Amino acid sequence: MVGLILTITCPILSLSKFDFVQAVANYSYDAFIRIVHQSPKSGSVVIVDLDDASLKKCGQWPWPRYRVGQMTQNILDAGASVVCFDIVFAERDRTSPVVAEQDWREAISPTAKVEGIAEDRRDFDVLFAQVLRGGRTVLGCTIVPSDSPVENMDPELDPSFSSRTDIVTKSKGGQGSLSNSLKQASGVLLPIRVLNEASRVAFFNADPDPDNIVRSNPLVWAYGDHVYPSMALEAVMLHCGIPRCVVTYDAHGVLEMRLKETLLAVDSVGRMTVNYRKIRNDSPVGFSSSFPTYSAADVLEKKFPAKAFAGKIVLIGASATGLKDVKATPVTQDFSGVEVHATLIDNILAGDMLSNPYEFQGLHVICILLLAIFLTFFIARGRSWLSFLVAIGAILLLIKVSLVLLQRFNLVFVPAWEIMSVIIIYPILTMIRFWDEELQKKRVRDMFGTMVSTTVLHYLENHPGSFSLSGQKREATMFFSDVAGFTTISEALGPEQLSNLLNGYLSPMTDIIMERRGYVDKYAGDGIMAEWGVPYPVPDHAAQACLAALEQQDKLAELRPILKEKFGKEIQVRMGLNSGTVTAGNMGSDKRFQYTVMGDAVNQAARYEPANKDYGTLIIIGETTYEEAKAVIEARLLDKLTVKGKTKPICVYELLARKGQLSAEKRKVVDLYEKALALHWERKWDESLACMNLALELDPGDGPSATLRKRIIEYQKTPPPATWAGEYVRKAKD
């Protein structure tokens, strides 16, 4: 009876839209692609990379358009067939003399003028456009996806669209419409008009699957009745001299997409499955590449082989730190977006596009049904060890057939559910026994395994009722930290050095948070967000958070000379803490989410961290945190602070040390500061200033004292309004 139920259930499940069904199919497909993927075949695709070396040599991006134009001209002069930019030039070049002159006149003087530059060289966008007109070029645009049909695009948004007739759509039998057949856009970010008119325009969006992995990509995208080609499709058409691509559709979607006699393998919405290529191990630039790749700086200086670009489609993309367009793909999680376009181009030119025929869906159902009947009968009649061998043999045979179809015939037949049927039918009794317990523990382990200590993880696994994933109100303390001047540090270090520096800093900080029973919510580059009190109860969450912050600063004092000797950079870290009521639970979409906290108390903590810059402090805590932790910490009343987005001032404190560990001299400075703070609230400027002068004599490097002294001097010259109640209004968020 159970076998009969499973025989019926497995084919039905294979047709379902459950996320886990698709996840199994996707994982299997990815594994197959990694096994059979081949080297590029067409030999017609080259990549020019805006790498870190290029930015170091030629300046930060965006470069002046005359420089981009010179690079483009060098490529065209080298015989390139088509030049494509995986970049959208959506704004005017601010370095152009005409633009700079306009800015100066508005900001400095109405008569400001850039002199010494010929009139025809004053607009760099025009210079770039002239280069674009001199060859076959494609500029990128960005599509804003829409899940539902939209109104037709305003013709004024893209006046040049009517002159481009490269995509022709045909409705078979007058059935269907573009809005129901192609992927729809609700907006498009285009190059500025002077560039738009000088070049072809194509979108460079990637269209990842729900698990954020790019397995296929649209060749066309519709904005109402306006249809835009992908960069890959436009490049192939220009390269091959094909004037148009014909898209035929009906009420069920796209029927076919054709370039002259070439039939493109696309699905019902015009997506083509990417036949990924092998990654080269000798890539000289900042990303793993399957295609010949040259640094943009070398191209500018014409340091490339004579025939490097001759007759080739050249794609220009970026791998530099902060610019890199990273995509997750079946072959690697660190794939440059420009590589996706390059691969699609190579697929079309080489004629080895992957095909996933609609008819295969029915074939899957038939295979699953036959396999389920066979295994159910054999397992019921045969010996256990022989049944096991038959089940394994069936799986191996399915894999072999799928690999042959993929490698020799470019047909995507992934037997995910055929294999899953074997896995379900054979061990079903054991799976039923352990399923609920193991699934729940795995969910907790996947979610919190790297965010909490081992002790706490075991507690969560054994006490799943102690927290809620669906959201609940909790009292907690939030912690935010950030490395001061990190942007400057990141610009000075290479990617590997920067990664090593961050790991050297973040690892010990994370250990301290976990040891103090904190939950590491997320990393934002160099920043850490953590909480105490969620997802598990910590009665003294404010005290534990404050002690963790102090221990991190102590650890940083040990690490600072080591990191400076190794990387040449000295790091200072600012921290902000606040306690209050939060909403804790899984936040995000139904497909991608994370356990985190939300609420006003969280926002306050996030604002306190950058406020350290105003006072020359390292750790600022909120009033609630201070009141709950004052038995174990030393802190000074810092100010009545009104952060960005708030109107009510809140007393904030500087966290200084553990209880009883503040030196006598520092205590005098703190007392003088708090006395001066109170006097300045009473508008007793002279008395307050005298206290600050004494404090700075004791400790010239005391940041809050220097800040308050400066503020008092300003108030002596320009007193605050009569409604002032002592608050300091901070207008910036960071």
Q: What is the pLDDT of residues 15-29, one digit of tens each?
A: 666 677 777 778 888
Each residue of 378-417: pLDDT tens digit? 665 655 556 677 777 877 888 888 888 888 888 888 777 7
The answer to whether residues 137 and 82 touch, using CB atoms and an 8 Å cutoff, is yes
Sign (positive or negative) of CA dihedral 563, 452, 610, 496:
positive
The pLDDT mean for the chain works out to: 83
The answer to whether residues 544 and 434 touch, using CB atoms and an 8 Å cutoff, is no
DSSP annotation of 470 reads: S
Kindly state the tokens that stand for 622.
């909120």
- Angle value at C-alpha 316, between 310 and 322, nearest 5 degrees: 155
Establish if 552 belongs to a structural domain: yes
Domain that holds residue 491: 467-662
146 — pLDDT class (breaks 50, 70, 90)? confident
Same structural domain, 510 and 403 = no
- E strands along 484-600, which residues? 519-524, 527-532, 573-588, 593-598
What is the per-residue pLDDT for 429? 38
Same structural domain, 645 and 536 = yes
Q: Is the pLDDT of residue 630 over 60?
A: yes
Mean pLDDT across the stretch 416-431? 65
What is the per-residue pLDDT for 406? 81
Q: How many residues does the chain have?
A: 734
Q: Name the β-bridge partners of 295.
A: 49
Mean pLDDT across the stretch 255-283? 85
Nearest of 259, 421, 438 to residue 349 by alpha carbon = 259
Using the 3D structure, point to which of 313, 328, 350 is the last residue of a domain: 350
Beta strand 245-250 with 253-259 is: antiparallel
Neighbours of 570 (CB within 10 A): 13
436 — pLDDT class (breaks 50, 70, 90)? very low
Contacts by 500-507, CB closer than 8 A, 24 or more apart: 500/567, 501/563, 501/566, 501/567, 501/569, 501/571, 502/526, 504/559, 504/562, 504/563, 504/566, 505/556, 505/559, 505/563, 505/571, 505/573
% of the chain beyond a pLDDT of 90:
40
Q: Is the pLDDT of residue 734 over 70?
A: no
Task: Quote the CA–CA distance of 335 and 338 in Å, as a whole number.
Answer: 9
Each residue of 540-555: pLDDT tens digit? 999 999 999 999 999 9
Kindly state the tokens that stand for 313.
């489609």
Specify the higher pLDDT residue, 356 or 43.
Answer: 43
The answer to whether residues 303 and 184 touch, using CB atoms and an 8 Å cutoff, is no
Where do the H-state alpha helices sit in 16-80?
Answer: 19-36, 52-58, 65-77
Please report, for the domain that includes residue 646, its CATH number. Answer: 3.30.70.1230
> What's phi and psi for 57, nearest 5 deg?
-85, -35
Q: Name the β-bridge partners of 221.
A: 228
Mean pLDDT across the stretch 92-121? 78
Same structural domain, 81 and 187 = yes
Same structural domain, 385 and 287 = no
Same structural domain, 402 and 476 = no
290 — pLDDT class (breaks 50, 70, 90)? confident
Task: Quote the CA–CA distance of 619 and 418 in Å, as a whole number.
Answer: 58
Using the 3D structure, point to which of 426, 447, 480 is the last residue of a domain: 426
Contacts by 392-397, CB closer than 8 A, 24 or more apart: 394/422, 395/419, 395/422
Establish if 681 belongs to a structural domain: no
Same structural domain, 57 and 114 = yes
Establish if 584 belongs to a structural domain: yes
What is the per-residue pLDDT for 24? 78
Domain count for the chain, please give it. 3
CA dist 687 → 4, 651, 671, 692, 716 (Å): 91, 22, 14, 9, 12
Establish if 394 belongs to a structural domain: yes
- Cα 91 to the center of its chain, rounded Å: 23
Q: Using CA atoms in the order 557, 559, 565, 569, what is the torsion angle rounded to 10 degrees?
A: -70
Q: Is the pLDDT of residue 606 over 50?
A: yes
Establish if 690 belongs to a structural domain: no
Beta strand 519-524 with 527-532 is: antiparallel
Task: Quote the CA–CA distance of 275 and 289 in Å, as a whole number.
Answer: 14
Same structural domain, 170 and 268 = yes
Kindly state the tokens that stand for 328.
């997750």
Establish if 451 belongs to a structural domain: no
Q: Among 281-290, 365-374, 542-551, name the most confident range.
A: 542-551
Q: Is the pLDDT of residue 558 over 50?
A: yes
CA dist 266 → 176, 189, 255 (Å): 17, 25, 9
Establish if 456 belongs to a structural domain: no
What is the per-residue pLDDT for 542? 95
In 3-state terms the chain splits into helix, strand, coil percentages (rounded to 5) of 45, 20, 30
Same structural domain, 318 and 396 = no
Task: Quote the CA–CA distance of 622 and 624 in Å, as a whole number.
Answer: 6
Same structural domain, 114 and 195 = yes
Q: Residues near 197 by Cβ (< 8 Å), separated by ≥ 6?
A: 129, 160
Task: Quote the CA–CA distance of 318 and 295 in Å, as a whole number.
Answer: 10
Q: What is the DSSP string of 315-368?
A: EEEE-STTT--EEB-SS-SSEEHHHHHHHHHHHHHHT--BB--TTHHHHHHHHH
Q: Is the pLDDT of residue 284 over 60?
A: no
Q: Is the pLDDT of residue 241 over 50?
A: yes
Mean pLDDT across the stretch 594-620? 90
Using the 3D structure, point to which of 400, 426, 452 is the last residue of a domain: 426
What is the per-residue pLDDT for 207? 87
Each residue of 63-101: pLDDT tens digit? 999 999 999 999 999 999 999 999 999 999 888 888 877
**For every residue of 221-258, which 3-state class applies, written as one string?**
EEECCEEEEEHHHHHHHHHHCCCCEEEEEECCEEEEEE
What is the per-residue pLDDT for 13? 64
CA dist 662 → 307, 332, 517, 573 (Å): 71, 52, 25, 21
What is the per-residue pLDDT for 45? 95
Specify the higher pLDDT residue, 446 or 290.
Answer: 290
Neighbours of 687 (CB within 10 A): 14
Q: Is the pLDDT of residue 283 over 60?
A: no
Kindly state the tokens that stand for 555.
């650890």
Each residue of 231-240: pLDDT tens digit? 999 999 999 9
One-letter identity of residue 429: L
Nearest of 498, 548, 558 to residue 528 by alpha carbon = 548
Q: Residue 135 in 3-state DSSP?
A: coil
- Cα 338 to the center of its chain, rounded Å: 16
CA dist 187 → 147, 184, 231, 397, 463 (Å): 12, 9, 17, 48, 48
Say if residue 288 is exposed, middle or buried (CB neighbours under 10 Å; 0-12, 13-18, 19+): middle
Same structural domain, 12 and 158 = no
One-letter identity of residue 245: C
Q: Residues near 274 by Cβ (< 8 Å), separated by ≥ 6?
A: 214, 215, 216, 217, 329, 340, 343, 344, 347, 354
Same structural domain, 398 and 546 = no
Least confident of 291-295, 591-595, 684-688: 591-595
What is the per-residue pLDDT for 685? 92
Same structural domain, 499 and 544 = yes
Each residue of 254-265: pLDDT tens digit? 888 999 888 898
Nearest of 275, 272, 290, 193 to residue 229 by alpha carbon = 272
What is the per-residue pLDDT for 433? 36
What is the per-residue pLDDT for 2? 45
What is the per-residue pLDDT for 92? 92
Say if residue 7 is exposed, middle or buried (CB neighbours under 10 Å; 0-12, 13-18, 19+): buried
pTM score over 0.85: no
Q: Is the pLDDT of residue 221 over 70?
A: yes
Task: Quote the CA–CA distance of 9 and 15 in Å, as a whole number.
Answer: 10
Task: Quote the CA–CA distance of 320 and 50 in Å, as a whole number.
Answer: 6
138 — pLDDT class (breaks 50, 70, 90)? very high
Nearest of 595, 588, 465 to residue 534 by alpha carbon = 595
Establish if 308 belongs to a structural domain: yes
Task: Quote the CA–CA distance of 647 and 92 in Å, as a whole number.
Answer: 38
Each residue of 117-133: pLDDT tens digit? 777 778 899 999 999 99
Least confident of 287-301, 366-380, 395-409, 410-424: 366-380
